[in-house]
Amino acid sequence: MTRQGRNALLTQTKQRLGQQVAARIPSGSTLFLDAGSTLLAVAAQLKGPLTVITASLDIAQLFSDRADIQLILLGGQWDSKQRLFAGSATLSLVTRYRADIAILGTCALHAGLGLSASQEADADVKRAMLAASAEHWLVADHTKLNRCEPWRVAGLSDIHHLFLDRPWAELGDDPALSVHIADA
């Protein structure tokens, strides 16, 4: 699906998810922000002061004129389909930073198998962001649930906060995972 197609899909749902995530971020936090249309909706709702570290060109452009956001853009090999930088240079840059919270988008999420990605380079960046952050937040709409992609990122036990647009029956109860359902 094209970038325009992803951005147009479930626009109101992504906006609600973005509002829910942004409302929980403490002022002054340092964030790793993943790429993708849902994370772009999260980024649009953020209030500074914040430091945002991202490999997403779209998120960087969104913040380029914001004085209340200290922006760090991770370079590397450009992926025009996913609109992000990835590869060994990006991974090396991620290790230079520490974040309070890594906020990841979702390619596919399965209750038993966890978070997975369709591209190896994207999975690598997601894993590196998780490794360099204190808290791990995941944002997913219902179209990403009960699915798997080839590249494993993390198990649900590695996630602290899960933001969804509707309840997920297959999830079960994990006291270590805080689940937040966006208001309809």
Per-residue pLDDT tens over the stretch 100-115: 999 999 999 999 999 9
For residue 31, what pLDDT is reported?
A: 99
Tens of pLDDT, residue by residue over 19-31, are 999 999 999 999 9
Tokens of 27: 């002022």
pLDDT at 2: 47
Residue 56 has pLDDT above 70, yes or no: yes
Considering the entire predicted model, what is its pTM? 0.93
Percentage of the chain modeled with pLDDT above 90 = 84
Q: Are 69 and 61 in contact (CB under 8 A)?
A: no
Residue matched to tokens 């991974």: 91
Asked if residue 57 has pLDDT above 90, the reply is yes
Q: Once rounded to an integer, what is the mean pLDDT over residues 121-131? A: 97
Q: How far is CA 69 from CA 47, 48, 61, in A?
A: 8, 6, 12
Closest by Cα among 91, 181, 183, 86 to 139: 181
Dump strand ranges (E) for 41-95.
Answer: 50-54, 69-73, 77-79, 84-86
Per the prediction, the chain carries an average pLDDT of 93
Instruction: Tell me the pLDDT tens digit for each residue of 58-81.
Output: 999 999 999 999 999 999 999 888
Q: What CATH number is attached to the domain comprising 114?
A: 3.40.50.1360
Higher pLDDT, 105 or 11: 105
Domain assignment of residue 96, given as a range: 3-181
Closest CA to 63 of 86, 92, 87, 31: 31
- Based on the structure, what is the number of domains in the chain? 1
171 pLDDT tier (thresholds 50, 70, 90)? confident
Residue 17 to residues 47, 67, 165, Cα–Cα distance (Å)? 15, 24, 7
**Greater model confidence, 159 or 183:** 159
Residue 39 has pLDDT above 80, yes or no: yes
For residue 178, the model assigns a pLDDT of 93
